[in-house]
Each structure stands twice: as structure tokens, then as C-alpha cells.
């Protein structure tokens, strides 16, 4: 492990790195990563055309009780919407907001992390 990181932390970081690369390959511009405010954290803020996308990254091990996408429950959605509003206010951004979810399965083998079953949900939820 790197610097005392837990597997869960490594898994989250790997999922965010993978998602950021996936977005960049599709023409998104990354505006912010791991942006914090009193309502929580935004994993990735990206721009695509007239949209500013707030991307929640969820990774789970194979066989987890809750699917990665299912982990973005109503309570989490409400926190993300509030945090997105705070980011829009702070950035003075006039783009159309969109709430997306990147969901994936991550496993580890001999210290290597492998990502599979990647799914990206545009406009996954909203208020």
C-alpha cells in the first residue's frame, strides 16, 4: 500500500483516475477534482459543451451487497446537489448543470487494481 492508504482509498483513487481519463478521451474538460464544501465532496467537475457535469464516482468490489450505482441513494443525491450548487456559486458558472454517475467494479490481484463493468450514467438524478 502507498503511504498507509487502505484498499478502499486506493480503490476510490483508481476509480476517479479511470473516470477522469474516460471523460478526457470523450472531449470533456476537467474543471475540478475532489472539490470540498460544507455539504460534501464533488469527485469530478467536468465540462462538455453547454453542460457542467458533476460526476460522482462509485466503485465496489465484485459481489458487494449494494451495486456501485445503487450506492448513490437519495440522501447522497441531495448532498451532491447542494455541493454542486455551492460549486456553481463559487465558480460563477452559467452552464447547465448535470448530475452524472460513473459506476464500476474494482478488484485487486497481487497489488494491482483492475477495473471492470464501467458504466456512465448521464443525468442520473436531479432535484
pLDDT, position 108: 82
Task: Give the pLDDT means over successive 10-residue stretches in the chain (127 positions).
Answer: 72 93 98 95 96 95 88 94 96 93 90 89 83
How many whole angstroms separate alpha carbon 88 and alpha carbon 77? 16
What length is written for the chain? Answer: 127
pLDDT, position 5: 80
- At 29, phi and psi to the nearest 5? -110, 130
pLDDT, position 1: 46
pLDDT, position 126: 65
pLDDT, position 94: 86
Amino acid at each position: 500500500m502507498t503511504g498507509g492508504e487502505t484498499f478502499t482509498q486506493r480503490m476510490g483513487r483508481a476509480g476517479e483516475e479511470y473516470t477522469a481519463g474516460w471523460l478526457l478521451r470523450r472531449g470533456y474538460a476537467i474543471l475540478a477534482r475532489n472539490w470540498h464544501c460544507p455539504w460534501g465532496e464533488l469527485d469530478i467537475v467536468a465540462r462538455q459543451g453547454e453542460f457542467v457535469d458533476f460526476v460522482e464516482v462509485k466503485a465496489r468490489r465484485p459481489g458487494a451487497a449494494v451495486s456501485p450505482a445503487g450506492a448513490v441513494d437519495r440522501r447522497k443525491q441531495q448532498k451532491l446537489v447542494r455541493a454542486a450548487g455551492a460549486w456553481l456559486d463559487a465558480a460563477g458558472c452559467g452552464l447547465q448543470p448535470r448530475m452524472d454517475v460513473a459506476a464500476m467494479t474494482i478488484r485487486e490481484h497481487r497489488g494491482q487494481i483492475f477495473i471492470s463493468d464501467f458504466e456512465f450514467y448521464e443525468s442520473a438524478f436531479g432535484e
